[in-house]
Amino acid sequence: MRERPTHASDEEVLSLVRRAWLPDADEVEHLPVGFGGWHWRVTVAGEPRLFATLDVLGVHHTADTLEATYAAAAALADDLDLVVPSLPGRDGRFTTPLGDGLLSATRWVDGHRPDGSATAELLERLHAAPPPPALTPWRPLVASDLPEELAARTLTPWTGGPHGEDARDLLVAHLDGVATWVADYLRLAGATDPSTWVTTHGEPHIRNQLQTGRGVVLVDWESARLAPAERDLRWLDPPVGDPDLLRMFALEWRLDELTQYADRFEQPHPGNESDRVALGGLRESLTP
């Protein structure tokens, strides 16, 4: 997120990092990166040591499934050097509560954004790895009644922030399209074969890759699932795999994004930079 969270201060993050992972940590710096969670650089005597993340809970995760997902990523890292996993804390858990979310930490990795040429090889290695027992199976994210729910929610004005009415107008103009997408998505999801599923990252694009001195690695394993390989393969350019499954996961991404943006703008919001980015994301989701 571009802004600091309102429900967790830097001082609280530093205190929790000291208790759970790194007793000699002396400073945290909020990093205005990513979207959906908050991130900090954790230093000792000026040297970066950890990358801390505060995840929110909701449709994607409960506290138990997020813990299991990070544990699965740590298990993968035992055999795959492409995985940068979360670190267990002093209590052996990978997450610890902070405010309304869960804090986790990975080791700090120096690197830069790669050109994407290694993505296919990374996914080939990942998909060939035996799935860790703790890995959460994928399930459809979108409910069949989403179009009706959005129609009901947009009947009254969204006046809790400067972008509420713009967001509501966008959704109202595309409700028929949303209904078509949902029906298509659920039809395709019902035809998947779990016996063919593999370990997937979920978002293996270049923003979740780092070029290091030892090669390209994948970060941000919050979305890892046991799922059809096309969940990852759709990020290749061009995408490869079963066309129906590629379409299904493209629809899932679109519908999940617009649902999260609807939740954001129906509620009070300040109109900050993250809100402006989210409004652009809503527009893109509805007019692909």
Two structure tokens written together for 209? 């890759």
Query: For the residues 259-288, what does the mean pLDDT come to?
Result: 93
Query: For the residues 142-158, what does the mean pLDDT come to?
Result: 97
* Contact status, residue 103 vs residue 20, Cβ threshold 8 Å: yes
Inform me whether the pLDDT recorded for 9 exceeds 80: yes
Domain regions of the chain by residue span: 1-108, 112-288
Residue at 142: amino acid letter: V
Report the C-alpha gap between 212 and 25 in whole angstroms: 24
Query: For the residues 51-59, what does the mean pLDDT come to?
Result: 90
Inform me whether the pLDDT recorded for 209 exceeds 90: yes
Q: What is the CATH number of domain 112-288?
A: 3.90.1200
Query: For the residues 229-240, what does the mean pLDDT come to?
Result: 97
pLDDT tens digits, 235-268: 999 999 999 999 999 999 999 999 999 999 999 9
Inform me whether the pLDDT recorded for 34 exceeds 80: no
Inform me whether the pLDDT recorded for 1 exceeds 70: no
CATH topology of 1-108 equal to that of 112-288? no
Two structure tokens written together for 93? 């858990």
Q: Which of 190, 192, 146, 196 is nearest to 171 (CA)?
A: 146
- Residues listed for the chain: 288
Q: What is the largest CA-CA distance in the chain?
A: 56
pLDDT computed for residue 26 by the predictor: 96
Domain 1-108, classified CATH 3.30.200.20, yes or no: yes
